[in-house]
Structure 1
Amino acid sequence: MAENRSILVVGLGRFGSAVATTLDSMGQDVLAVDKDPLLVNRWSSSIPTVQADMTDVLAIEQLNAADFDTAVVAIGDSVEASVITAGNLLDAGISDIWAKSVSKEHARILQRIGARHIVNAETDAGNRIGHLVSGNYLDYIELEGEYNVVKIHTPTYLIGYTIGDAKVLERYGITVVGIKSPGHEFEYGSSNLVMHRNDELIIMGKQDQIDRFIKG
């Protein structure tokens, strides 16, 4: 399981607020920043927020942005502000940058300056990206209703156990859909399938069940 990381989210529009609230609900150390005082005020009672213009290098320094492990640049109303902010955060020493793009040209510029993850806001929902940014998931699919499908590495406490011996369904309510081991074909989740270190598990369950399963 990945440890909690400090994550800076810049931009509190629909996408950024979805990322920030998802991360906060998962117990991640998140700080959301926007230059619009109305947006900051709207979200201040729900998540940690600060009003600042991150295109300003001085604001980057005042917020000690260099202390954050990851940053999400969720600015969508200005390509220039998005690119400048991403550049400032990279210059501050944050190498793990997730940036929202609004066009192919925007994405290309973000890639050229060194943003590690480019998010197409038209196809990637904010809450999905929030779960991926947290580091606990390799992939995350939100289904209709209460259930989600996620891809994770085998939790440490389950390494070497079969799905049946671990009583995954009985104890956690989780269904192991299948397992992909490095260098091997995908296998459906039969009860005698052993879960190895570095295996990728595809599991399905309610969010609270998934969280409990990951933590052990």
Structure 2
Amino acid sequence: MAEADSVAVIGLGRFGRSLALELMASGTEVLGIDADETIVQELNGQLTQVVRADATKDEVLRQLAVHQFDRVVVAVSSDLKASILCASLLLQLGVPVVWAKATDEQHGRILEQLGVHHVVYPESDMGRRVAHLVRGAAKDYLEIEAGYALVKAAAPTELHGVALGDTDLRQRRGVTIAAWRSAAGEWQYADNATVLHEGDTVVAVGPTRNVEAFAQLR
């Protein structure tokens, strides 16, 4: 999928605002839409264009030419009806790719049934990620999709001083070391010849249960 040059973000609450500003920082053209005049005024000048509008109305979306954007994100979630209606209208308008924020699994299932291309669960996803960090084992954690994850963790003692190709790590632990860095060095790709030492940090990928267990090793 090609990188998006233009994105419309509907709903500029904490999630939508953060997303829109990050997209702007990366050089993407961003149209922000929200029904709250105060929010629109706050973001005036920070986005390519920001407007106060009711995105649950077909004529409004057409006037704003939302269907001409590469991606549209429905960041409205507190109003379930508005989220679903907005997503439905966008799909009817033929928006190439629609992303939508869901508050829970039921909301997400409805969005998926409508045909939304990507449904995200920022609260629950962040909760899972932070839980791993709070436990103190992982330095960072990302669930790539259900059942598969990536973890940044300290290189465990069992890998010190041995070439990765001789550790049988994938067979024993069910994970693969994708990259590593020393305490004072830069990130490097890992291969069978890589030798890790105390103080090194690694990025491991694999089934969620396996990478969680790997992060607990010392």
Which category describes the TM-score, using the shorter chain as reference length? 0.5 to 0.7
Give the paired residue count.
Answer: 147
Structure 1 length as normaliser, TM-score?
Answer: 0.59
The aligned runs of 1:43-122 (5 Å cut-off) are 43-48=43-48, 49-122=50-123
Runs of 4+ in 1 over 3 A off after TM superposition: 1-4, 187-190
CA distance in 1, matches of 2:101, 2:3: 24
1:143-187: CA deviations, max 9, x gaps? 9xxxxxxxxxxxxxxxxxxxxxxxxx9xxx952344xxxxxxxx4
Q: 1:176 maps to which residue?
A: 188
Whether contact under 8 Å (1:99, 1:118) holds in the other structure is: yes
Q: Sort the Cα spacing of 1:12 and 1:189 in 2 relative to 1 into closer, same or farther, 3 A.
A: farther
Q: 1:23 maps to which residue?
A: 23
The alignment partner of 2:78 has SS state of coil
Instruction: Give 5+ residue unaligned stretches, structure 2.
Output: 127-143, 145-149, 153-180, 195-202, 204-218
CA distance in 1, matches of 2:109, 2:4: 30
- The sequence identity of aligned pairs, in percent, is 35
Larger RCO (CA under 8 A, 6+ residues apart): 1
Q: What root-mean-square deviation, in Å, do the aligned CA atoms of Structure 1 and Structure 2 show?
A: 3.4
Instruction: Give 5+ residue unaligned stretches, structure 1.
Output: 126-138, 144-168, 179-186, 191-201, 203-216
Q: How far did residue 189 of structure 1 move? A: 9.1
Whether contact under 8 Å (1:95, 1:116) holds in the other structure is: no
The aligned runs of 1:182-201 (5 Å cut-off) are 187=191
Whether contact under 8 Å (1:176, 1:189) holds in the other structure is: no
Greater displacement, 2-11 / 111-120: 2-11
Structure 2 length as normaliser, TM-score?
Answer: 0.58
The alignment partner of 1:108 has SS state of helix
CA distance in 1, matches of 2:193, 2:52: 48
Larger Rg: 2
